[in-house]
Amino acid sequence: MEKGKRIVGALIIIAWLMSMASCSNIKYLPAGESLYTGATVKVQGPSLSRKQRQVLQEDLAALSRPRPNRKMLGMRIRLLAYNLAGHPKKETSLFGKMKYKFGEPPVVLSDVNLDKNNTILANNLENRGFFKASVTADTIIRRRKATVIYTVKTGPQYRIDTIAFEVDSSMIGSAIRTTAPKTLLKPGNPFNLEMIKDERSRIDAHLKENGFYYFSPEYLIIEADSTIGNNKVNLYVKLKPGTPSLARQIYTIRDVFVYTNYSLNATSGDTSKKGALPYKGYYLIDRGKRYKPKLFEQALQFNPGDVYNRTDHNTSLNRLVNLGVFKFVKNRFEPAGSTFAQLDAFYYLTPYPKKSLRLEVTGTTKSNNLVGSQLTLAWRNRNTFKAGELFSISAYGGAEVQYSSALKGYNVYRGGIETQLTFPRFLVPFVQVNTRGGFVPKTNILLAYDLLNKQKLYTLNSFRASYGYSWKESLYKEHTLNPISINYVRPLTVSAEYQDSANKNPTYAKVIEKQFILGSTYNYMYNELVEGRNINAIYFSGTIDLSGNLFGLVKGGGSPEKPSLILNNAFAQYVKTEADFRVYRRLGDNSTWANRIIVGVGYPYGNSREIPFIKQFFIGGNNSIRAFRTRALGPGTYNGNTTTLVPDQSGDLKLELNTELRAKLISIVHGAVFVDAGNIWLYRNNPNKPGAAFSKDFLNELAVGTGVGLRFDVSILILRLDLAFPLRKPYLPEGQRWVIDKIDLGNSRWRKDNMVFNLAIGYPF
């Protein structure tokens, strides 16, 4: 009863505030004026479906001007701020900023030009093929609030009957005619001006691919004849009579010049051809001798005598940018001045500083009550060996402090150093390999050392090395292959407290065991999110990780009890695959539905009973199942979160499902409602972890959690706050795992045991 009274009271207060805001806005209007609240379009058409009518109404309403004052939470907050600020003397004062920076002046009915809007709507309808449409406007005023209703009578929509390419037999005429089979203008489709513009651009793109460098869509005319009857129209594709001779010719490349040290404030002397060095079809102007000519061999796609085409034009620019050596890249083409239709190509490259030093500070927080920061110092040397190589050294150090009362003092300290050398090409012994497209392939060599100290528990050191390749097939598709990947982990110190726990519980012993991984990895990523966040998009990342396969063949079979050795160390043997698939669906201008499924399978064999700890799967935490703390869930129905030591549960298999509805609330504040589910399992039975092995009943062992979140999007970063609680706990006895009926938000003990607060940077997926 009390809760009901509070809810009713809150609704009354909200309604009162909205009413007051509305009255205040009208109060400040000039005499005789009405507040303009927007336009509505009513479409009347004989042959329009309900969906077509709705789309047309929305499109036409968006064209009317002016726009009414914006609303937030149903109220015109900005207009209210403008009115309440009064007449401040200074724009920089508090009320000045409130009025002129945040506020909006009222949009009144006299601002609306009905005749102009009628013309705009009628023109748009004509562009869509409604040649006999009519538009009328009516104004409705109630309590000093005005709306405009536009009534549209579309009449019949004209459709395309025939399309004819009426061009001569010249080179350009023949080239235009060859594009006819792929025309966007199809008989039976509605007449649409935007489609006609797209058709001109399509023909222009085809001509650019075939040497017509100086052609432009403006040289094409698509005439429409709507007098043939039956509400049909004939279209005629023609070349403008006044098209200049330059646009009618096919151009080839004569010479290519590359300026390697171009200044954006260049004088005429900076672009002279003096000292140009010829190399494999192009001329290099590098007076400082800072670059080897082979650096540009794969980037430049034009050779003397090639017919100009837009693909090679763009590919050359993209590859020069992706070398990572030049800050700015620009180019131009100019007639060669010969009797033939030839072009000279000029590329002007502005280099980055050769050496740079960067200091980076990051903050971290985890759902297992660890907060901390990390300091990274990175030094980079570009163009190390004069062929675009990038050599980098980075050193880092950081700490995470445990603030939980039960685990206080179990802080984490980490540090390390990493060196990497990247070549802007494939380095494959005895073979020359190149990729197509606008992205430069890379060869990466990495050496690293990491030190991890968990206070009061243990200290681990790790050595990493890899040799591999990365290349982008397109804007969306990227490959990473490491034929050689080495990781060696060994403990330096182990506390008596942790060793005692390890002697009793093999879970803790596995964390500090030696791990020697010799293998290969491959990752394929398809990512449509590169075009932006609030779009319909698909993301996929698939990884294959192999260890010990080749050495197992050479050394012979081993077993966990009697493993094969390399340099007196047992090496891990496993096959691991992981797939991360996401689907994003835009529900409106400011809302998105995001979904993710992760499937991971690891198969240990030979020397390994389980996959090495650093390669196993973990679940729970900020970017996983947010209702459970980091690494505190699973495997299976096993409950390892019963000790005072920090939990570190891991598994050989993983299944995770997430769904999240995201919507903008106000300004930079976004909200979310989410549900997460999943678990991890071991591939084989472990007598020390009952219920941890994967079985046919795995779906009955999934954990489920839900919650709400806030995101603060300030462009350079997104601060995320999520509050979650479990709906299903897999470690409870069967039949008691669903805990929805036990939810008690008003009970402090329940909140302490179940509510998990997550603070993080960026979206979880």
- Reply yes or no on whether the pLDDT at 430 is more than 90: no
Domain identity same for 256 and 214 = no
> What does the pLDDT average to over 680-702?
90
How far apart are alpha carbons 249 and 261 in whole angstroms? Answer: 33
In a domain, 237, yes or no: yes
Give 304-325 pLDDT, tens digit per residue. 999 999 999 999 999 999 999 9
In a domain, 723, yes or no: yes
Domain identity same for 642 and 754 = yes
CB 481 within 8 A of CB 469: yes
* Residue 593 CB neighbours (<10 A): 15
- Reply yes or no on whether the pLDDT at 7 is more than 60: no
> What does the pLDDT average to over 121-143?
95
In a domain, 679, yes or no: yes
> What does the pLDDT average to over 429-447?
82
- More confident call, 71 vs 434: 71
Structure tokens belonging to residue 515:
């791990």
Say how many CA atoms lie within 13 Å of 135 toward its Cβ: 24
The pLDDT-based confidence of 345 (bands split at 50, 70, 90) is: very high
In a domain, 376, yes or no: no
- Reply yes or no on whether the pLDDT at 379 is more than 80: yes
What share of the chain in percent tops pLDDT 90?
61
The pLDDT-based confidence of 10 (bands split at 50, 70, 90) is: very low
> What does the pLDDT average to over 525-552?
85
- More confident call, 364 vs 335: 335
> What does the pLDDT average to over 192-219?
96
In a domain, 675, yes or no: yes
Say how many CA atoms lie within 13 Å of 616 toward its Cβ: 26
Give 629-656 pLDDT, tens digit per residue. 888 898 999 887 655 455 678 899 999 9
> What does the pLDDT average to over 712-739?
90
Domain identity same for 63 and 146 = yes
Domain identity same for 235 and 208 = yes
- CATH code for position 267: 3.10.20.310
The pLDDT-based confidence of 125 (bands split at 50, 70, 90) is: very high
How far apart are alpha carbons 88 and 90 in whole angstroms? Answer: 6
- More confident call, 427 vs 274: 427
Reading phi first (left if > 0) and then psi (alpha if -120 to 50, else beta), residue 129 is in left
Average pLDDT for the chain: 88
How confident is the model at residue 16, as a pLDDT? 43
User: Which of these three, 321, 351, 381, is where a domain ends?
Assistant: 351
Specify the pTM: 0.77
Domain identity same for 624 and 740 = yes
Domain identity same for 171 and 184 = yes
The pLDDT-based confidence of 452 (bands split at 50, 70, 90) is: very high
Give 43-77 pLDDT, tens digit per residue. 998 788 888 899 999 999 999 999 999 887 677 88
In a domain, 658, yes or no: yes
User: Which of these three, 351, 378, 411, is where a domain ends?
Assistant: 351
Residue 341 lies in domain: 252-351
Domain identity same for 41 and 124 = yes
Residue with token string 């407290």? 497
| Number of domain units in the chain | 4
The pLDDT-based confidence of 22 (bands split at 50, 70, 90) is: low
Domain identity same for 137 and 34 = yes
The pLDDT-based confidence of 14 (bands split at 50, 70, 90) is: very low
What share of the chain in percent tops pLDDT 70?
91
Domain identity same for 224 and 347 = no
- Reply yes or no on whether the pLDDT at 367 is more than 90: no
How confident is the model at residue 20, as a pLDDT? 47
CA distances to 107, 139, 143 from 34, rounded to whole Å, are 9, 11, 8
- Reply yes or no on whether the pLDDT at 662 is more than 90: yes
| DSSP per residue, 544-595 | EEEESHHHHHHH----SSS--EETTEE---EEEEEEEEEEEEEEETTEEEEE
User: Which of these three, 312, 330, 351, is where a domain ends?
Assistant: 351
- CATH code for position 753: 2.40.160.50
CB 572 within 8 A of CB 489: no
How confident is the model at residue 746, as a pLDDT? 87
β partners of residue 137: 150
How confident is the model at residue 644, as a pLDDT? 46
How confident is the model at residue 365, as a pLDDT? 65
Domain identity same for 758 and 625 = yes
Give 261-273 pLDDT, tens digit per residue. 998 775 544 567 8
What is the distance between the terminal CA atoms of the chain, rounded to a whole angstrom? 41
Domain identity same for 261 and 229 = no
How far apart are alpha carbons 764 and 761 in whole angstroms? Answer: 9
Say how many CA atoms lie within 13 Å of 576 toward its Cβ: 31
Domain identity same for 627 and 754 = yes
Give 544-598 pLDDT, tens digit per residue. 999 876 665 566 666 776 777 776 777 888 999 999 999 999 988 788 999 999 9
